[in-house]
Every structure is written in C-alpha cells, then in structure tokens.
C-alpha cells in the first residue's frame, strides 16, 4: 500500500530535550516536505527536499533541522524544542508538481 508514515504519532517532551520525528514514504517520490499546522493558521511549510541531499527552508524553518540521506526518509529534528513548537506536524511526499500525499501527523507537546 502506497503511504507516508510518521513516528511517533504523539509526543510529550520538555523544553531543550532533542527529538526526532521520522518520516518515510514507499512511493519513490523525489519531493518531500514537512509542515506544521496550528489552529487558524493552516499548514505552514518548515523544510522541503527536492531529492537526496537537497534540502531547502520553507516559511518557518527556525528551530528545525532536516536531512535527506535516502530517498524514502526525511526526518525532522528539533535540537532544542521550545513550547512555541507545540503543534501538529505533517510530512508529505510527491513527484514534482503532482499531488502530495500526507502522513497521518505527529502531535507534539513541548512543556
């Protein structure tokens, strides 16, 4: 089954404790992206990657890092999480210019 998976689905952590949210897709898509979604603000792009070893900042990259060592994986790293990073995070993948497939989301609470 074609899908985008994210782990963990739910995470509660404390300020400053490094965490990684994994994202994996099995559709051989070149394009992958991370979004955060906050009430009333819609989806905002954090980082995206056009292909392996190619990553670029989106609209709200501060406080986040990503890597794309393999085509299928695109982890999101929060080196020192802060409460304002409490949000719902989505990973997505697609072929260039085509429909994006979204993961199920990761709900993060930073205390």
Partner 1 sequence: KNQVEQSPQSLIILEGKNCTLQCNYTVSPFSNLRWYKQDTGRGPVSLTIMTFSENTKSNGRYTATLDADTKQSSLHITASQLSDSASYICVVSAREYGNKLVFGAGTILRVKS
Using CB under 8 A, pick the residue from 45, 67, 73, 86 that binds partner 1: 45
When asked if residue 47 is in the footprint of partner 1 (CB under 8 A), the reply is: no
Phi, psi of 85 (to 5 degrees): -95, 5
Which residue bears the tokens 């070149």?
A: 30
Question: Pattern of binders to partner 1 over 64-93, x per CB under 8 A?
Answer: --------------------------x-x-
Could you give the dihedral angle defined by the CA atoms of residues 111, 15, 4 and 31, in that order, rounded to the nearest 10 degrees?
140
When asked if residue 22 is in the footprint of partner 1 (CB under 8 A), the reply is: no
Indicate the SS3 state at residue 84.
helix
For partner 1, which stretch binds (CB under 8 A), given 22-30, 62-70, 71-79, 98-106?
98-106
What's the length of the chain? 111
Which residue bears the tokens 């993060």?
A: 108
| Site residues (vs partner 1, CB under 8 A) | 4, 33, 40-45, 50, 90, 92, 96-105, 107
């Amino acid at each position: 089954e074609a899908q985008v998976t994210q782990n963990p689905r739910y995470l509660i952590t404390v300020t400053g404790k490094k965490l990684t949210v994994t994202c994996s897709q099995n559709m051989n898509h070149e394009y992958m992206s991370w979004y955060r979604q906050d009430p009333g603000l819609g989806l905002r792009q954090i980082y995206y990657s056009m292909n392996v070893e190619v990553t670029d900042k989106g609209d709200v990259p501060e406080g986040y890092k990503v890597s794309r060592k393999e085509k299928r994986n695109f982890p999101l790293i929060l080196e020192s999480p802060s409460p304002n990073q409490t949000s719902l995070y989505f990973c997505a993948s697609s072929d260039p210019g085509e429909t994006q497939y979204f993961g199920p989301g990761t709900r993060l609470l930073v205390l």
